[in-house]
Structures are given as structure tokens and as C-alpha cells.
Structure 1
């Protein structure tokens, strides 16, 4: 039963479905401050391009969101945030970069006349009719975008060069923030090389990359063959410490006068395993169940946790479907507490040598972990519980 009578939206102690900010933004100030120092350095020609690396649901998007908010409020650096997850094409990425740069610039400066000039530029048939540098760059990008013969890597180059030309012409700076960058990496080494070539020559634009495919992102930074080898400052984003989670939970429950024993707070923290997203989800589920001034018991926590798992059914179903049949069998086996490669192979009914590649891929993407030699486990505890309930059976069979 939901007990939300008499509560305003502002009184909600937890936030789900959008980036956390303010009092909901937990223990990530150090990462945020480092990013601010690195990006704002572009104003003095002293910026460093950076990369956030962490598992899914550890709060990277919230960090990037707060970075963009602070840049908009306190600096001449204009953020361009692009979510690269599932982008259909390089041309779509290029369009997003240009469109977002224009909208963020106009929003920051109030220069609506510039937008009107760009609309006029689109109608010009000859480059000679355009005189401003950024407008020429925009015109060239638009012409190449309409030409189906244009190599899509060239479109990316033109888009990023447009951002630099706009920054120079208007006396501003840009921070290009690319979330879920592992999807860009899949476009191949040649695309990455061209990206690196452009990025390293820009003076008024800095870059912040972020990715949840931890091994792939680490290889981007530290593998000698990578085009970005030692070109990025890594900022790791780990799970929250248990004491941090417990302190946050207590403060949020106190905020709405919910009574809960320390042992029950510990139980919630144990379920969430340091994932900020799950802390918010389980906290909100409990709040909606007991309401302000209520009390939380161990039984209510278990029921609320089951509710969280069920609420993620559609999301997990879609995510699970992105894996190959063999990868899905491996994930189910690991969720059913098969930790050794031989056990996983037997559970998945595959030869041991036939699952080595899939295990490596799943580790590269941060879906599974190897806490010790020869042992595997799911990185996401809630996904693991969902798989176990979705594919019920005797785990000892």
C-alpha cells in the first residue's frame, strides 16, 4: 500500500530515473572537483582531456550532469553533453554535436541572432556568400551532411572543427562530454585515430569521456596500440563505501521522520552493494511503502527489494536480449552461483574452450567480474537476482 498522502514532490527523500543533484548527490564531490579543474583549465590553455571509468549504475551520469550544471553557472566553458549509447550512425553523432553546440551556446550567451544567421546560411548555395568563420564551417558541414557520398568519419571531423571555430569566433570555450563512449569505440580504430588527431589540436575545446565497459575503457587509455594511449586523465568511479551508504540512508530517512534501526539500514546497504542507483531505488520503494513518519522492518525491506527487482523487469529484459545466446547462457549460469569456468561450461552445456571468448567479452564490458583467479561473478547484484528469479531451477543440478 502506498502512503504518500499529504506529501509534496519536494519532500521525496530519494530520486530515481534522473541524475542526482543537491542533497541526492552522494560522495562524488572529489571526482566532480577533479573534472572541474581539468575542464576549466581550457580557459587558460591548460586543460587536460579526461575519462570517467566505472561500472553501470555507479553514478557516472550524475557526475557528468553536475559537471555540466556547474560549468553553465560558473565559467565561460559551455558543456556539450552527448549520450553515445545506441547511436545509430556516425552521421547522427555528428549532427548531435553540432546541434547541441549551437543550442548550448545560444542558451549560455543569449545570442539568438546567431541562430537566425545559421538559418540564413542554410539557404546559401555558395560558400563565398558566407563570411564568418564558424558560419563557413557550419555551411560546409551542412553541405557534406546532405551529400550521401560523404565519408561519415569526415562528418565527425567537420562537426568537431565547427565547435572549435565557434569557440574562437565568439571568445568562448567548450567541454564536449561523451557519455557511454564504449559505443563510439565499436566504430573502430580508424575512427578513434581521426578523433584523436582532431582533439589533440584543439585549443578552446576539451573533452570528457565516460564509459561502463571497464576493460575496454582502460585499454583505450593504457594499451600502447590505442590512439588515445596516455592522452586522457583517468578518474575512476567505484561503488560507494558501505558506511557512506548507511550515513546517506539515515539522513534521508531522518528527513522524512521514518524510524529505522541501524541493523535494518545495514540490511539495505548490503542489498545495494554500493550502487548509488539501487540505494535510491530501494530507499524510494521503502518510503512509498511506509510514508513519512512510518517505521521500516526487515520484512518490509525484503518486500521492497523484491519490488525493485520486479520494477526493473522490462529494462533487464531488454538489456539481457542484447547478448548472444552463449553469453546469455553464461550469465544465467553465473547468476545461479556457478563461479568456476568448468561449472559455467557444464551449466551452459558448452565445451570449456568454447566459452573462453565470451567470458573475456563479458568481463571487458563490465558485466561479470573475476574477484579471484578462476572465479567469476555477476558485477550487478540486482541483475544477478533478476536472472536467478527469471530462470528458476535447482542450482545444484
Structure 2
């Protein structure tokens, strides 16, 4: 299929507007009624397959309610749907009355241990406040953790009256570190133990997810040892670490001498099976009152390698092109054109972006 210059411009504008904006909001996508979603974690009906992995992880982590704790490491290349699976797992476990703290290590910026602990505390308190119905605005927690000791005394006292001494104990150490009366390492035990202490206080069980865990390797070499020491003491809190840097994650969980050597049940994600990819594509195109012929299916599967992100991406590109061309059936010709105009730039971007350090990525 040869697109005219005008067609090509319009199509590329659609791709840039809908597909290449990797921060497009869920609300916008739902409003547009797009059958595919690329670039951000998927949810609801756009989450497909992974039933085996999801059920296995649920079984493992639900066992903590019976006193059996098993931690898991989920290792997956980029774009295989790792984060989508973790967020779906979070949703499922929350239905089982488990407190779930999802922590994206890539959101720590500037990248420092102090910022890591500060964000971790905020996330922990926010989740427990929501779960227990504690009448506390998230902004008050943020003010208490981020403010100076002198400025937030009343706020801290008010929060302690609601949350309890667990919060007060942490804030005491937090203020001592801010006043440089203690080293930041003094925060480790208090901050990392907070989910466990709140679990005991509330009678609940907690599941902590560290996504992109390998980024924490940039911290001081003793950080992992300190984290391991605290995790091993916990009875009501289970952990999942996940990462997309295969080499670093394998080094963390499988290398002798690593603090986390043989500590986790290790699982990996693979591309979809052909049958699952076909079912997914047919279902999603049908949801938009489109169809896809056999050659179109083969073309998308071959070009995407059945990797979830690329199935979503090429499906979306093909849908937008067919929409512009006023076609209701996705053919190989449409897929080939969509691929040529949209998909070829992605692998190059990811390869080039991946060579930068965490700090450089955040700046970019």
C-alpha cells in the first residue's frame, strides 16, 4: 500500500498523537474507545492472558494469610507486560483483604537513599490509611515527612494520635537524621519495618512490590544487605522484586555472594503463545467493530514476536491506519504499512535509551 504525502502526514500525526505519547492518560484512552493501549501498563479488559502466571502468584502470596511466606522475583525483558501483571496481581490481592504496596523504583528522583526511604514511607502510610479508613489527607503525610522538625510538630502529633506509636517512632528517627544527629542508615530499620509494624497493629497481612528493583543496585553496597536483614525478620509482610534488566536481576538473585542469593522463587515472562496472540487480536479488533484476516494476523504476530507491548503497539497502529483509510478489515497490507510508518523507530529508541544511567534517563 502506497500512502500519498497527505495520507502519510495525517497518519503519522495520528500515531504521534495516540501511540507515541507514552504518558497519555487512561481517561483519554477510554474516552477514545481505542481497542489497544501501548506505552503504559494495561488494565481492565485490555489485560489479556497471563492467567497461569497470575494464578500462581496469587496462590504463593495468599499463603501468607496462613502463616507461610514465600517471596518472588519476577524477571522479564522490557515490554513483556511485567508491570501490567504486577498491577493486576495487586488488584486481585486487594480483593482478598491484603494490603499491597506497589513501589516503582524508577520514580525515585533525585536518586538517593534518603528519597527512596521518604517515598517508601509515604506510600506505606497512604496505603494503610486508605485500607483502614484513617481520616488523614495524603498531603498531611507528605507535609510531615518532607517538612522540618520545627514546622510539623503539630501535624506529627495529630498523625500519631490516629496511626499510633509506629508512626511516632519513625518520625523521631527521621527528625534526628534531618538534624544530622544520626546518619541516614539509622532510618533503615525504622522505615523498612513500618509495613510489618502496621500489619501487626491492624491484624492485616502486607505484600510489597519493588518494581525495577535492579535500579537500587546503584546505592551503597551495604544497602542490599540491610534490606535483606529487615525482610528476613518479617512474618506478616511478603515481597516481590521485579526487573527488566535481565543480567542485573540474575546477578542479584542467583549469584553466590549476593545478599539475595537463593532467597526468591524466580519466575520469568515469555511472549504469548500463537493461540493466545490470535485470540487477543481478534477480541480487541472485534471490540471496535473491526475484523482482521488470517494474513493480517500472521503479519502482526511475525512482526511483534508475540511480545505483549508490540502486539498492542502494532495493533493500535494498524487500527488507526485502517480508521483513516475507512477500512473495517485489517489486512496484511495495512499491517505492513502501519509497521513501516510507526513501529520501526521503537527498537532503536529502546536500545539507545537503555545505555544511559538512571540519572541520565530521568534528565532525558
* Pairwise TM-score range, normalised by the shorter structure: 0.7 to 0.9
Question: Closer, same or farther in 2 for the Cα pair 1:153/1:312, shift >3 Å?
Answer: farther
Q: Which residue of 1 aligns with 2:105?
A: 84
Structure 1 stretch displaced more, 97-106 or 292-301: 292-301
Q: Which residue of 2 aligns with 1:165?
A: 197
Q: Which residue of 2 aligns with 1:75?
A: 96
Deviations 1:179-203 (A, max 9, x none): 0001012325411111110001011
Q: Deviation at 1:320?
A: 5.0
Question: Closer, same or farther in 2 for the Cα pair 1:150/1:35, shift >3 Å?
Answer: farther
Distance 1:313 1:58 in 2: 14
Tell me, yes or no, if the aligned pair for 2:100 and 2:206 is still in contact at 8 Å: yes
Whose RCO is larger (CA < 8 A, sep 6+)?
A: 2
Distance 2:180 2:51 in 1: 45
Q: Which residue of 2 aligns with 1:298?
A: 332
Distance 1:188 1:116 in 2: 30
Q: Which residue of 2 aligns with 1:123?
A: 153
Distance 1:100 1:211 in 2: 20
| Count of aligned pairs | 319
TM-score calculated relative to the size of structure 1 = 0.71
Q: Which residue of 2 aligns with 1:190?
A: 222
Deviations 1:71-123 (A, max 9, x none): 22x12311111111263111111111110111111222211159799778951
Distance 1:211 1:37 in 2: 21
Q: Which residue of 2 aligns with 1:96?
A: 119
Correspondence 1:35 to 2:57: yes
Q: Deviation at 1:313?
A: 8.9
Tell me, yes or no, if the aligned pair for 1:83 and 1:178 is still in contact at 8 Å: yes
Aligned partner (choices 230, 233, 240) of residue 272 of structure 2: 240
Tell me, yes or no, if the aligned pair for 1:175 and 1:207 is still in contact at 8 Å: yes
Tell me, yes or no, if the aligned pair for 1:137 and 1:162 is still in contact at 8 Å: no
Structure 1 stretch displaced more, 288-297 or 197-206: 288-297
Question: Closer, same or farther in 2 for the Cα pair 1:238/1:310, shift >3 Å?
Answer: closer
Aligned partner (choices 35, 38, 47) of residue 69 of structure 2: 47
Distance 1:289 1:38 in 2: 43
Structure 1 unaligned segments of length 5 or more: list them.
324-397
- The within-5 A match list for 1:381-396 is none
> How large is the RMSD of aligned CA atoms in angstroms?
3.3
Question: Closer, same or farther in 2 for the Cα pair 1:283/1:113, shift >3 Å?
Answer: closer
Distance 1:125 1:255 in 2: 50
Distance 1:271 1:314 in 2: 15
Q: Deviation at 1:27?
A: 1.8
Tell me, yes or no, if the aligned pair for 2:282 and 2:291 is still in contact at 8 Å: no
Distance 1:13 1:67 in 2: 22
Q: Deviation at 1:59?
A: 0.5
Tell me, yes or no, if the aligned pair for 2:36 and 2:315 is still in contact at 8 Å: yes
Q: Indicate the SS of the match to 1:85.
A: helix
Q: Indicate the SS of the match to 1:206.
A: strand
Q: Deviation at 1:257?
A: 2.9
Q: Which residue of 2 aligns with 1:384?
A: none
Distance 1:145 1:293 in 2: 63
Aligned partner (choices 273, 277, 282) of residue 250 of structure 1: 282
Distance 1:297 1:313 in 2: 23
Q: Deviation at 1:293?
A: 6.2
Correspondence 1:270 to 2:293: no
